[in-house]
Chain A
Amino acid sequence: MGINDVILKTVAKAVVLIILTFGIYLFLSGHNSPGGGFVGGLVLASAFVLMFLSYDTETVKDAIPIDFKKLSAFGVLLAVLSGLGPLLFGQNFLEQSFDYFNLPIFGKTELATVLIFEAGIALTVVGVVVNIILSISEDE
């Protein structure tokens, strides 16, 4: 292991955490300020890519036992199913609803169904990007 690897790995440990936090922040803040499912998913994916680049694939796979193919499929399914939900309430496919609730700690909070949809998009993006990069890097 070269000295560069040590630096990279140490930095990655800290940076990955920051990137992940930033990704989740972007995902949640998308409703009212810049961010959203797509870019949040991309940032999360880049954190995973950094992990895979700085450590070897096996180590990361042991630590995070996620099948990214299934993750992307799950994401697409979630996005589609979230669209079917409104049909049960007599609304159109993919029609989003929102309302304001008084929650104990957060106070007046807006809850929107678009969050489920965006979560689906974010998971799709994470799954697809990591899956593509993993397949290419394993092609040896």
Chain B
Amino acid sequence: MQLLILSILLPFLAAALIPLIHRRIGNFNIGWLVLSIPVLLFGFFASQIPMVSSRETLLTSVEWIPSLGINFNAYLDGLSLIMALLITGVGSLVVLYSIYYLSPTDSFPHFYAYLLLFMGAMLGVVLSDNLMVLYVFWELTSISSFLLIAFWYHRKNSRYGAQKSLLITVFGGFAMFAGFLMLYAMTGTLSIRETAAAMGQLTEHALFYPAMFLILLGAFTKSAQFPFHIWLPDAMEAPTPVSAYLHSATMVKAGIYLVARFTPIFGGTSAWFWTITIVGLVTLFWGAFCAIRQTDLKALLAYSTISQLGLIMSLLGMGSAALHYGNTEAGALYGLAIFAALFHLVNHSTFKGALFMVVGIIDHQVGTRDIRRLGGLMALLPVTFTFAVIGSFSMAGLPLLNGFLSKEMFFTASLNAASMPGLFSTSWGWLIPVIAWLASVLTFIYAMIIVFRTFLGNRDSKAVEKRPVEPPIGMLISPAILSILIVGLFFAPNLLGDHLLKPALEQLLPGISGASPDSIYAWHGVNTELLMTIGIVLIGSVLFITFDRWKVIFKIQPAGWTFNALYNYALTSSENAASFVTRSYMTGRLHQYFFYILLFFVVSTGGTLLLSDALSISFVQDAPISIYELMLVIVMIITAISILFTRSRLSAILMNGVLGYSISIFFVLFRAPDLALTQLVIETVTTALFLLCFNYLPEWKREPLPKRKKARNAGLAIAGGLVITLTGLSVNSADLFETISGYFQNSYELAGGQNIVNSILGDFRALDTMLEGLVLFIAGIGVYTLIRLKLKKEAGADGD
């Protein structure tokens, strides 16, 4: 069944079609057409749920580069189905929301083309079974994210945020790529499933840990884990639908997906366990801590996303321990963490998506998202307020909402992880639930800030001039659906658990039975987890009310000692270093450039010739030199030397022409009419070009160079000529390889043409010719742009 691969390609196809059709549909909003694509795909993936819940998987394969083992393998199992449903489901809601969110002055075709590009790339990431294909899609998500963050590219902050996200995520992507190559070196396969099967014996391999850390680097940068989280707040310059979609629901979950996907491969080792758990917990705490002090609602949500991603990440770390214990009671006990991670992954997408949309509505209707200027919106935006309450309270982990269920599971997992026997036992284990609890208190506080600072209190009518009203109904549909899901998942969590989470968990923890709970309960009786939640509500409320008294602690961190400052410093200093290096050799003097080029050529080619002992000259096989050839050679030598001493440019050009035509006569003598013809026409066109340029060239004068430099240049020139001559002679004298010209002699049978030269150009080596055509085209565009740019600049200068 190729439908799976088609489902990845469909968004790309649609993205390519958008520029073609958007002009033809007039005033009709192209978003409605775009909406059909995620809805269609969502329907397709939803129809696969019965198959996956009956523990079957779907694999389709198309050969891409079979010689390198790179096949376009699309693989659908529980985990990829969860992600695919999120991508297409949230994607549909975001597209619908964006139709009302974007202003008519924004470029809709660009927006939707980028969004579809992202959707296809993200589907590719979660459905690829081949590491190389996954990597290609992975980088495509970074690129489409870059384009979407910089959607309002006239803003300086947008460009800064886009660049930052690209630099950090692509840096991680490269590291991950290196990790993939190491995996390939270890296992000899690029398929993730086959790697997982072959990995069991490889924990002792020297590349095992380097590969693990490089792949984790990719996952941590993408999922904004500490200390790479700094790109996510700056990515909030993107339009809010994009933030809701890429930077909370899907793309930042790609790192989570990657870690989950590689759990069967690396899981069960202590390095994997501790790295992910610690990084996750630090991110969880630091994100929540930073979120509280934000005054911009979107920045607050960004840090909260970082924090929540850390939570999911740490759960994946804790759960990986199950693979060490295998199919035992302990294995099943710790495996619950992965179940909780998958559950919270879905829940986070629902409540964070809703919250981003709420913030988008506030920004859209009120004109600001600064908490200090907001307040008292409850009466004015009652519907939006409802969504905000549902989303925030779910994030805080309050009952009757889905966040409560996964938060309780998170506490259970962290309590379990505190006291693990054997490999993972440590005296510091008690810190895990403590950090989890502290971070949850902070989470509760910022969730309350979103609700109470924005919607309650007094409205500052001076700060916000226009009286806000509810947005058009279309903007409310998407957050409404998400809010219904938040509540619905609390009352019917097992629907999700049985059909999607359990199949996914069984894939991630192969051979461990009983890791997933029989069913998800809201009420476990009075246990530690419930007490922890009650404590969070009590202490969180006190801290929220007294927030103004203790917020001075945010000033402890000295200004300038942030990762952002480090990033900015690294960026500017690398730019400075690069421009210093460039300036040192790009002097604008043509003869110096020629010097570098020739020097490189002489050293590399001449050096290779000498070092590899390839120098061999023999004239035994050569045909005798005829009188014509001798005459031509003498003419060419005389012309070449006299160019050096000529006093006018015109005669230099003409003599250059003599050289060119002589070469074409050589081709005639050597019975190569095609080459002769081409050389003749080229000479003609070149001369015409020279004549055109003649007017613009500066005065022909000799550069006053010191004798030493002149001698140096002359020496280099002679060396260059010598290297070419010697290479030519050596190539002609040595028969190192069997000649392939015999094959081309069959051109009439193989290519149907009697002209061997053209059969090679157009048939046997058509790829070379095609690429040469492309190069020519690019060069033409380059000349055009350079000249146009100069003309424009001059016109601009005249105008000033």
Q: Give residues in A with beta carbon < 8 Å to B.
A: 26, 30-39, 42-43, 45-46, 49, 53, 69, 72-73, 75-76, 79-80, 83, 93-94, 96, 98-99, 110, 112, 114, 117-118, 120-121, 124-125, 127-129, 131-133, 135-139
Q: CB within 8 A of A128: which of B688, B757, B766, B776?
A: B776
Q: When chains A and B are docked, how far (Å) is the Cα of A46 from the Cα of B692?
A: 14
Given contacts A34-B755, A45-B685, contact A93 B767 (CB under 8 A): yes
Given contacts A96-B763, A98-B751, A131-B784, contact A136 B684 (CB under 8 A): no
B774 within 8 A of A: yes
Inter-subunit contact A36/B751 (CB<8 Å): no
Q: Which residue of A has the minimal Cβ distance to B787?
A: A135
Q: Which residue of B has the minimal Cβ distance to A76?
A: B777
Q: Which residue of B has the minimal Cβ distance to A100?
A: B752
* Main DSSP-derived SS at the A contact region: helix
Q: When chains A and B are docked, how far (Å) is the Cα of A125 from the Cα of B781?
A: 12
Q: When chains A and B are docked, how far (Å) is the Cα of A80 from the Cα of B769?
A: 10
Inter-subunit contact A31/B758 (CB<8 Å): yes
B677 within 8 A of A: yes
Inter-subunit contact B770/A36 (CB<8 Å): no
B790 within 8 A of A: yes
Given contacts A128-B776, A135-B784, contact A36 B752 (CB under 8 A): no
B754 within 8 A of A: yes
- Which positions 142-173 of chain B face chain A at CB distance < 8 Å? none
Inter-subunit contact B761/A36 (CB<8 Å): yes
Inter-subunit contact A139/B677 (CB<8 Å): no
Inter-subunit contact B755/A46 (CB<8 Å): no
B656-696, CB under 8 A of A: which get 1 and which 0? 00000000000000000110011001101100110011001
Q: CB within 8 A of B674: which of A34, A110, A136, A139?
A: A34
Inter-subunit contact A80/B770 (CB<8 Å): yes
B791 within 8 A of A: yes
Inter-subunit contact B767/A94 (CB<8 Å): yes
Residues of the B chain whose Cβ atoms lie less than 8 Å from the Cβ of A53: 688
CB distance from A49 to the nearest CB of B (A): 5
Inter-subunit contact B783/A132 (CB<8 Å): yes
Residues of the B chain whose Cβ atoms lie less than 8 Å from the Cβ of A117: 762, 766, 769-770
Q: CB within 8 A of B755: which of A36, A43, A96, A135?
A: A36
Given contacts A69-B781, A75-B777, A139-B790, contact A26 B753 (CB under 8 A): no
CB distance from A77 to the nearest CB of B (A): 10
18 pairs of residues in contact across A and B, judged by CB atoms under 8 Å = A32-B755, A34-B673, A34-B674, A36-B757, A36-B761, A36-B762, A38-B678, A79-B773, A96-B751, A99-B752, A112-B753, A118-B762, A124-B773, A131-B783, A132-B783, A135-B784, A136-B693, A136-B787
Inter-subunit contact B766/A96 (CB<8 Å): yes
Q: Which residue of A has the minimal Cβ distance to B785?
A: A135
Question: Beyond A33-B755, A132-B780, A135-B788: 16 further Cβ-contacts under 8 Å?
Answer: A35-B674, A35-B677, A36-B755, A38-B761, A38-B769, A39-B678, A46-B681, A93-B767, A114-B762, A117-B770, A121-B773, A124-B773, A125-B773, A131-B783, A135-B787, A136-B693
Residues of the B chain whose Cβ atoms lie less than 8 Å from the Cβ of A83: 766-767, 770
Inter-subunit contact B696/A139 (CB<8 Å): yes
Q: Which residue of B has the minimal Cβ distance to A131?
A: B780
B51 within 8 A of A: no
Q: CB within 8 A of A31: which of B692, B754, B784, B787?
A: B754
Given contacts A38-B678, A96-B766, contact A133 B752 (CB under 8 A): no
B779 within 8 A of A: yes
Q: Which residue of B has the minimal Cβ distance to A127?
A: B780
Residues of the B chain whose Cβ atoms lie less than 8 Å from the Cβ of A93: 767
Which 3 residue pairs are nearest across A and B when measured between Cβ atoms? A128-B780, A98-B752, A32-B754
Residues of the B chain whose Cβ atoms lie less than 8 Å from the Cβ of A120: 773
CB distance from B602 to the nearest CB of A (A): 31
Inter-subunit contact A30/B755 (CB<8 Å): yes
Scoring A49, A98, A139 by chain B CB atoms within 10 A of each residue's CB, the highest score goes to A139
Q: Give residues in B with beta carbon < 8 Å to A.
A: 673-674, 677-678, 681-682, 684-685, 688-689, 692-693, 696, 751-755, 757-758, 761-763, 766-767, 769-770, 773-774, 776-777, 779-781, 783-784, 787-788, 790-791
Residues of the A chain whose Cβ atoms lie less than 8 Å from the Cβ of B762: 30, 36-37, 96, 114, 117-118, 121
Residues of the A chain whose Cβ atoms lie less than 8 Å from the Cβ of B752: 31, 98-99, 110, 112
Q: When chains A and B are docked, how far (Å) is the Cα of A72 from the Cα of B238?
A: 37
Residues of the A chain whose Cβ atoms lie less than 8 Å from the Cβ of B754: 31-33
Inter-subunit contact A124/B674 (CB<8 Å): no
Q: Which residue of A has the minimal Cβ distance to B788?
A: A135
Inter-subunit contact B791/A75 (CB<8 Å): no
Residues of the B chain whose Cβ atoms lie less than 8 Å from the Cβ of A75: 773, 777
Inter-subunit contact A39/B674 (CB<8 Å): yes
Residues of the A chain whose Cβ atoms lie less than 8 Å from the Cβ of B678: 38-39, 42
CB distance from B681 to the nearest CB of A (A): 4
CB distance from B293 to the nearest CB of A (A): 53
Q: Which residue of B has the minimal Cβ distance to A110?
A: B752
Q: When chains A and B are docked, how far (Å) is the Cα of A104 from the Cα of B791?
A: 55
Q: Which residue of B has the minimal Cβ distance to A136?
A: B692
Q: When chains A and B are docked, how far (Å) is the Cα of A139 from the Cα of B773?
A: 25
Residues of the A chain whose Cβ atoms lie less than 8 Å from the Cβ of B689: 132-133, 136
Inter-subunit contact B751/A42 (CB<8 Å): no
Residues of the A chain whose Cβ atoms lie less than 8 Å from the Cβ of B791: 139
Residues of the A chain whose Cβ atoms lie less than 8 Å from the Cβ of B753: 31-32, 98, 112, 114
Q: When chains A and B are docked, how far (Å) is the Cα of A24 from the Cα of B788?
A: 32
Q: When chains A and B are docked, how far (Å) is the Cα of A40 from the Cα of B469?
A: 69
Q: When chains A and B are docked, how far (Å) is the Cα of A114 from the Cα of B364?
A: 57
Inter-subunit contact A39/B677 (CB<8 Å): yes
Residues of the A chain whose Cβ atoms lie less than 8 Å from the Cβ of B766: 83, 94, 96, 114, 117
CB distance from A66 to the nearest CB of B (A): 14
Q: When chains A and B are docked, how far (Å) is the Cα of A129 from the Cα of B753?
A: 28
Q: Which residue of A has the minimal Cβ distance to B684?
A: A46
Q: When chains A and B are docked, how far (Å) is the Cα of A42 from the Cα of B679?
A: 10
Given contacts A39-B677, A46-B681, A133-B688, contact A114 B751 (CB under 8 A): yes
Q: When chains A and B are docked, how far (Å) is the Cα of A72 from the Cα of B788?
A: 17
CB distance from A133 to the nearest CB of B (A): 6
Q: When chains A and B are docked, how far (Å) is the Cα of A110 from the Cα of B755?
A: 14
Q: When chains A and B are docked, how far (Å) is the Cα of A38 from the Cα of B784?
A: 21
CB distance from B669 to the nearest CB of A (A): 15
Q: When chains A and B are docked, how far (Å) is the Cα of A53 from the Cα of B766?
A: 34
CB distance from B593 to the nearest CB of A (A): 21
CB distance from B744 to the nearest CB of A (A): 14
Given contacts A114-B751, A129-B685, A132-B780, contact A36 B758 (CB under 8 A): yes
Residues of the A chain whose Cβ atoms lie less than 8 Å from the Cβ of B787: 135-136, 138-139
CB distance from A36 to the nearest CB of B (A): 4
Residues of the B chain whose Cβ atoms lie less than 8 Å from the Cβ of A98: 751-753
Inter-subunit contact A69/B784 (CB<8 Å): yes
Inter-subunit contact A72/B777 (CB<8 Å): yes
Inter-subunit contact B681/A42 (CB<8 Å): yes
Residues of the A chain whose Cβ atoms lie less than 8 Å from the Cβ of B692: 133, 136-137
Q: When chains A and B are docked, how far (Å) is the Cα of A45 from the Cα of B783?
A: 17
